[in-house]
Amino acid sequence: MEKGKKITLSAIKADVGSYTGHVRVHPDLLAVAKASLEEALKANFLIDYHVTACGDDLQLIMTHQKGSDNAEVHELAWDTFSKCADRAKELKLYGAGQDLLADAFSGNVRGLGPGAAEMEFVERGSEPVVIFMADKTEPGAWNYPLFKIFADPFNTAGLVIDPNMHNGFVFEVHELKKKKKILFSMPEDMYTMLAFIGSPSEYCIKAIYRKNNTEEKVAVTSTEKLGLIAGRYVGKDDPVCIVRCQSGLPAVGEVIEPFTHPHLVAGWMRGSHHGPLMPVSQEDSGPTRFDGPPRVIGLGFQLNEGKLVGPVDFFADKAYDRARDIANQMADYMRRLGPFEPHRLPSEQMEYTTLPILLKELDAEFTDL
């Protein structure tokens, strides 16, 4: 690592095929991905990497010094996913190559199917980071926990007690369909921001900054929406989120605390149902019941000159057993509603699913009242 130069942490993910159905990434794909990134490491292209999976999504966590949205890093991710997709096709895995929406790479994986959360920063004396990865849900799923972590004093004691956090944080919120962004300053703009981020299907928290430095991110999410890119339902977005912790930022315990409350998110079966976001260990991240319930894993690393020391699998801990119990009870309750809202998503949000095709077929049969 080049001293004094910023480090870039990139979490890039894609579903390039899974088994059985949309449940898990096959071990062969993990091996192919590791071999691909190992080669890049040996060539001194990457400083370090960690390959993992959350449900049916393959996750490439990489450190380097090339900055966010770097074409070469994105090409490496794309090539790695492509090699994995080839293996998935050989194994006749389900949805092989699913998230690779383009035939060829064109400069940046954003817009081609994969999701990416990246940030550049000067590595501090000690740099703890938590990377959250979710399956069977969408980017808006991070709105609730990120608000709790960086703006809710009932969650984050540091907002009250730590003089370095007492001034609050700045949130960058994106309107995904219209491709617009806005900054909100916490706590001053809290009520206004909540009016937007309370609609997680429309507005997503993209990044969070310290008050005095809106250049360097302290949290970032992937906000790629597969439906918007493909114009139809090809799978859920299954987002990732990186949060830096401690020393004037929320403590690790404050960062993982919101996941004790399994909030309702959009996704689950056919990307068309609300269900609880269940915190689970990496090992337990394969969705089962009704292709769910939606799951989140949280892996912690310490950066050491760009090397990824870890991970700690936070939600493997017993302290999250009760959250899982609550999530399972919520899943029972929601499932009983069957095809009725609010289990099934409201019609506006069904736009990119297969339902509109059916409704269109019946158009002519509707007569005027």
Nearer to Mg ion, 57 or 313 (CB): 57
Helix (H, G, I), strand (E, B) or coil at 105: coil
State the binding partner of 271 from ligand F6R, Mg ion, none, CB within 5 to 8 A by kind.
ligand F6R
Hey, how many other C-beta atoms are within 10 angstroms of the C-beta on 286?
A: 20
Q: Binding ligand F6R by CB under 6 A: which of 48, 118, 120, 291? A: 291
Q: Looking at the DSSP assignment, which residues form a beta bridge with residue 267?
A: 137, 273
Vertex 10 angle, CA 178 and 18, to 5°: 85
Minimum CB–partner distance for residue 107 and ligand F6R (Å) = 27
State the binding partner of 18 from Mg ion, ligand F6R, none, CB within 5 to 8 A by kind.
Mg ion
Helix (H, G, I), strand (E, B) or coil at 107: coil
> DSSP string of 11-25?
EEEE---BBTTTTB-
State the binding partner of 291 from ligand F6R, Mg ion, none, CB within 5 to 8 A by kind.
ligand F6R
Contact predicate 137/239, CB 8 Å: yes
Vertex 28 angle, CA 281 and 30, to 5°: 45
Restricted to residues 9-28, the positions that interact with Mg ion (CB under 5 A) are: 15, 18, 22
Q: Does 294 bind ligand F6R (CB under 6 A)?
A: no
Question: Exposed, middle or buried: residue 255 (CB in 10 Å: 0-12, 13-18, 19+)?
Answer: buried
Q: How far is CA 257 from the centre of its chain?
A: 17
State the binding partner of 269 from Mg ion, ligand F6R, none, CB within 5 to 8 A by kind.
ligand F6R
Restricted to residues 109-138, the positions that interact with ligand F6R (CB under 6 A) are: 136
Q: Does 237 bind ligand F6R (CB under 6 A)?
A: no
Per-residue contact flags (x/-) with ligand F6R for residues 182 to 221, judged by CB under 6 A: ----------------------------------------
Alpha helices by DSSP H, the chain: 27-42, 71-90, 143-151, 158-161, 190-197, 226-230, 252-256, 321-336, 355-361
- Are β-strands 180-185 and 169-175 bridged in parallel, bridged antiparallel, or unpaired? antiparallel
- Number of residues engaging ligand F6R in binding (CB under 6 A): 9
Positions annotated as catalytic residues are 15, 233, 236
- Number of residues engaging Mg ion in binding (CB under 5 A): 8
Q: What distance in Å separates the CA atoms of residue 243 and residue 314, rounded to the nearest whole number?
A: 14
Amino acid at 300: G
Q: Does 57 bind Mg ion (CB under 5 A)?
A: yes
State the binding partner of 118 from Mg ion, ligand F6R, none, CB within 5 to 8 A by kind.
none
Q: Binding ligand F6R by CB under 6 A: which of 236, 274, 295, 344? A: 236
Minimum CB–partner distance for residue 210 and ligand F6R (Å) = 35
State the binding partner of 257 from Mg ion, ligand F6R, none, CB within 5 to 8 A by kind.
none
Q: Which residues bind ligand F6R (CB under 6 A)?
A: 21-22, 136, 235-236, 269-271, 291
Q: Which residues bind Mg ion (CB under 5 A)?
A: 15, 18, 22, 56-57, 95, 135, 238
